[in-house]
Structure formats: structure tokens, C-alpha cells
């Protein structure tokens, strides 16, 4: 069961757009939640946050848009902690094959269907129903390696997967392309289209990280349905520079 802030957007045929917290912690998280975004992403892979920080923030995010956490690695203990804190979605980086994708899904489910240990610590979770607790967490795996792209059809067919999340910079590097051109050129169009087709064949969501609104619009037109906009640091820097330039002019 995916969070209503996402399904309500998808039901209209539109893409869900999210804010992305890398360094601002609680301050950025709160501002994104108040700004009308469909979800807020917390980054534990390329950021100052770790899974403990993300769990503490997520624990307090009872109302409002979905909270999706990108974990630092495909680790059942880390994923389980975030599920217990009430994360609505988990993004798992560097997934290379169907077995790794299945392990990510299993980390959100209790035995006999998974490996998650029981220990919820947010009061509004359906703690009396372990199936409902598992089903409320959407799992997205990242395709950003040569092996991941080669195995994308098998990955997308893994039961319980909510979607695939493309890392344009890492996928570009893996394919021998420039990461700085990942968002502004057509160098990934063919690869992303293959991923989109695999997602569509299995009725799961294609997600992508984007640098800014302009690149997001471009990739939404190509089929992306879960799109994160840059990061809090880059967004603040852009606004700060623009305000300074206007004032000095």
C-alpha cells in the first residue's frame, strides 16, 4: 500500500515530485513538508544524514506527505530500523540483480515472507498487524550499474517491488559517459527507456533523481513518475545567489 500523497497524484496520470534532504536535517525536512511536495526524500547515501538521523526525523512525520529514505546500502538491519520509525518508502542503491532486489523487499517483511525483526516505535503504526506494517512500506531499487541495467527485466519482476529509481550520474559513469551531462543531454534516453518498459510490463513505478525542475519536466515527459528535485543545499545556493544578485543590481 503506497502512501496516499503518491497514489493520489498517480491516479490523475501525473508524476509525484519530491524534495530531497541532504544536509539541512530537520530544518529542510520541515520546510519541504510545508511546501506542497508530494514526498520528501531523506538521503543517507550521499549526505550528512545517517539512518539514525533519518529514523528520528521520520518518527515525527505522522501527517503530511510521504517520507522516503534512501539507505546507504542494501542492509536488512538499516532498512528494518527505518520501517520501524514509520518510513513510507525505502530506496536501495546499487542493486545489480533480482536476488539483491528480493533481499531489499524481504527486509521490509516479517517471517516467513521476509527477515524483518519486530520493533515498531511510532505510535500510529498498525503494530497489531504485521502484514499491514509490511505492506505500508514501498520499496524502490536503484538501477545505476552495468549489471543492474543488464538485469533490469528480472529486477522489475521481483514480487513486492514498488518501483525502480534511476541514478543518472552513476548510471552514466557505469556506461562510460560523463556524469555532468546526465541530466541535460540525451545520453541516457535509450537506457532509461529500457527501464521504463520493464517497469510498465510489471506495473511498477519509474523514478529518477533530477538536478532541477527543467530536467525533471523533461524526464517526466519520458515516463518518470517519481521525481526528486536536486537537493536542499543546491536549492538554497541557487536561491541565495539569485537574491544576492538582485539586491546588488
| Count of structural domains within the chain | 1
Segment (H or E) for 241? helix 232-248
Residue owning grid cell 542494501: 74
For the CA atoms of 46, 87, 220, 29, the dihedral, rounded to the nearest 10 degrees, stands at -60
136 domain-assigned? yes
64 domain-assigned? yes
- C-alpha cell at position 9: 497524484
Residue owning grid cell 530536467: 215
76 domain-assigned? yes
Name the residue among 225, 230, 161, 223 with its Cα closest to residue 188: 223
Lowest mean pLDDT, pick from 7-16, 97-106, 189-198, 233-242: 233-242
Q: Average pLDDT in the 214-229 region?
A: 95
Q: Average pLDDT in the 131-137 region?
A: 95
Name the residue among 5, 43, 37 with its Cα closest to residue 21: 43
Q: How far is CA 241 from CA 61, 238, 248, 249, in A?
A: 31, 5, 11, 12
- What's the confidence (pLDDT) of residue 28? 92
- What's the confidence (pLDDT) of residue 178? 96
Residue ranges making up the domain that contains 199: 4-244
249 domain-assigned? no
* β-strand partners of 142: 165
166 domain-assigned? yes
Contact 249, 40 (CB under 8 A): no
Highest average pLDDT, of 122-126, 167-171, 181-185, comes from 167-171
Average pLDDT of the residues of the chain = 95
Q: Does residue 24 register a pLDDT over 90?
A: no
- Measured from the Cβ of residue 71, the count of other Cβ atoms closer than 10 Å reads 24
- What's the confidence (pLDDT) of residue 223? 96
pLDDT digits 0-9 by tens, 66-114: 999 999 999 999 999 999 999 999 999 999 999 999 999 999 999 999 9
- What's the confidence (pLDDT) of residue 25? 83
11 domain-assigned? yes
Q: Average pLDDT in the 157-166 region?
A: 98
Distance CA 201, CA 155 (A): 12
For residue 174, what is the domain's CATH number?
Answer: 3.20.20.60
Contacts of 220 (CB under 8 A, 6+ apart): 15, 227
Contact 247, 240 (CB under 8 A): no
- What's the confidence (pLDDT) of residue 23? 84
- C-alpha cell at position 52: 539514525
115 domain-assigned? yes
39 domain-assigned? yes
Contact 98, 160 (CB under 8 A): no
- What's the confidence (pLDDT) of residue 1? 66
Amino acid at each position: 500500500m503506497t502512501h496516499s500523497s503518491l497514489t493520489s497524484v498517480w491516479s490523475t496520470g501525473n508524476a509525484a515530485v519530491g524534495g530531497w534532504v541532504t544536509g539541512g536535517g530537520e530544518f529542510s525536512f520541515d520546510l519541504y513538508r510545508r511546501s506542497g511536495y508530494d514526498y520528501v526524500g531523506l538521503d543517507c547515501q550521499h549526505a550528512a544524514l545517517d539512518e539514525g538521523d533519518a529514523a528520528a526525523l521520520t518518527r515525527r512525520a505522522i501527517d503530511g506527505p510521504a517520507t522516503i529514505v534512501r539507505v546507504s546500502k542494501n542492509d536488512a538491519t538499516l532498512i528494518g530500523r527505518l520501517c520501524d520509525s514509520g518510513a513510507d518508502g525505502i530506496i536501495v542503491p546499487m542493486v545489480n540483480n533480482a536476488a539483491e532486489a528480493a533481499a531489499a523487499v524481504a527486509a521490509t517483511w516479517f517471517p516467513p515472507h521476509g527477515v524483518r525483526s519486530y520493533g515498531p516505535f511510532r505510535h500510529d503504526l498498525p503494530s497489531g498487524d504485521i502484514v499491514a506494517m509490511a505492506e505500508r512500506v514501498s520499496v524502490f531499487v536503484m538501477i545505476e550499474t552495468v549489471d543492474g541495467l543488464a538485469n533490469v527485466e528480472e529486477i522489475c519482476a521481483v514480487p513486492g517491488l514498488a518501483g525502480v529509481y534511476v541514478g543518472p550520474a552513476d548510471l552514466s559513469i557505469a556506461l562510460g559517459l560523463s556524469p555532468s551531462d546526465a541530466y541535460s543531454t540525451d545520453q541516457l534516453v535509450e537506457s532509461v527507456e529500457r527501464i521504463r518498459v520493464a517497469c510498465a510490463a510489471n506495473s511498477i513505478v519509474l523514478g529518477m533523481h533530477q538536478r532541477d525542475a527543467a530536467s525533471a519536466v523533461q524526464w517526466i515527459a519520458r515516463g518518470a513518475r517519481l521525481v526528486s528535485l536536486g537537493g536542499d543545499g543546491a536549492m538554497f545556493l541557487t536561491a541565495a545567489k539569485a537574491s544576492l544578485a538582485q539586491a546588488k543590481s
